[in-house]
Amino acid sequence: MSRHTDLLLTAIAPAIWGSTYLVTTEFLPDGYPLTVAMLRALPAGLLLLAIMRQLPHGVWWARAFVLGGLNFTIFWWMLFITAYRLPGGVAATVGAIQPLVVIFLARLLIGAPIRLLAVVAAVAGMAGVALLILTPQAALDPVGILAGLFGALSMAAGTVLSRRWQPPVSSLTFASWQLTAGGILLLPAALFLEPPLPALTGANIAGFAYLGLIGAAFTYFLWFRGISRLEPSAVAPLGFLSPLTAVVLGWAILGQHLTPPQLAGMAVVLASVWLAQTAQRRAVSSTPVHRQELPLPATQKPTPSTGAAS
């Protein structure tokens, strides 16, 4: 499958994540962030485990919980703290630092080079998100800012480590391990820190089903599949599509108005995503062929692998 197709499939995930705010506010009961996060992760993970019928083994038990904790437990927990303590525009702008963090973590953890064009694209994406949803009236809360930064760091670390720790299983199985682990870690927090959910309506059930099946199981399969095939610095900027989708859905479904700065922000976000992919494409085209890409001798069997060596 071509790199272009891999990028398009991976981009579907953050585009769908942009609908999370609309679904949460319009379909789910208010005031249960940890419970909602747990119900988004755990049922989806258990369903995928039942379908794939493959549990982690050996060191992958620990790695599944580390990655599940980074990508889901900590990230979603911090995400909801940020959402409750900061206006949406500030929260999204703080979270937009993630692609920049990924560039430097990828250098530290997997030895990926730092490319100036990729750094420029990440900074431009942050500016585009700020134009898209940040308003002059936005208030700044120190705890919310710290939670947003910590959440972005957690997701960035999870993205890079998901690339470094590529298991000998499919991306769907890998997603099931992480979703289940993240949901298990969220379960005690949801039970002890929040009251029980009220009686659920049909709209509530539909919202939970959408967030679990589409917003978690399907999208994170595509996300981890993309991480296994593409460099983290190429995948992370696709996350800028999430706030862009949220704004477009607010305009199309909720009747919200689009201002000139928002339209400019959309253009900057799309340009930053294109610039990031251009930087990665130039890097790939200038990289010499590695020995493992050459034909193996007839007596040597290739080792099964889904990505970079751990």
Express as a percent the part of the chain with pLDDT over 90. 36
Find the DSSP H helices in the chain: 3-17, 20-27, 33-52, 60-68, 75-85, 88-95, 98-110, 116-133, 142-164, 171-193, 202-209, 219-229, 232-235, 241-252, 260-286
| Mean pLDDT within 260-267 | 87
What's the distance, CA 136 to chain centroid?
A: 28
Q: Which of 38-42, 213-217, 257-261 has the lowest mean pLDDT?
A: 257-261
pLDDT at site 47? 93
Q: How many residues does the chain have?
A: 310
pLDDT at site 151? 86
pLDDT at site 149? 85
pLDDT at site 135? 63
pLDDT of 126 higher than 70: yes
pLDDT at site 117? 85
pLDDT at site 45? 94
Q: What is the pLDDT of residues 65-74, one digit of tens each?
A: 999 999 999 9
Q: Closest Cα to residue 42, out of 187, 215, 190?
A: 187
* More confident call, 136 vs 77: 77
pLDDT at site 236? 86
| Mean pLDDT within 163-179 | 92
| Mean pLDDT within 216-230 | 91
Query: DSSP secondary-structure letter at 19?
Result: T
| Mean pLDDT within 198-223 | 93
| Mean pLDDT within 49-62 | 94
| Mean pLDDT within 221-234 | 88
Close Cβ partners of 83 (under 8 Å, ≥ 6 residues apart): 33, 91
pLDDT of 153 higher than 70: yes
Residue 206's pLDDT band (cuts 50, 70, 90)? very high
pLDDT of 109 higher than 90: no
Arithmetic mean of pLDDT over the chain = 82
pLDDT at site 309? 35
Residue 295's pLDDT band (cuts 50, 70, 90)? very low
For residue 195, the surrounding DSSP H or E stretch is none
* More confident call, 184 vs 259: 184
| Mean pLDDT within 260-275 | 88
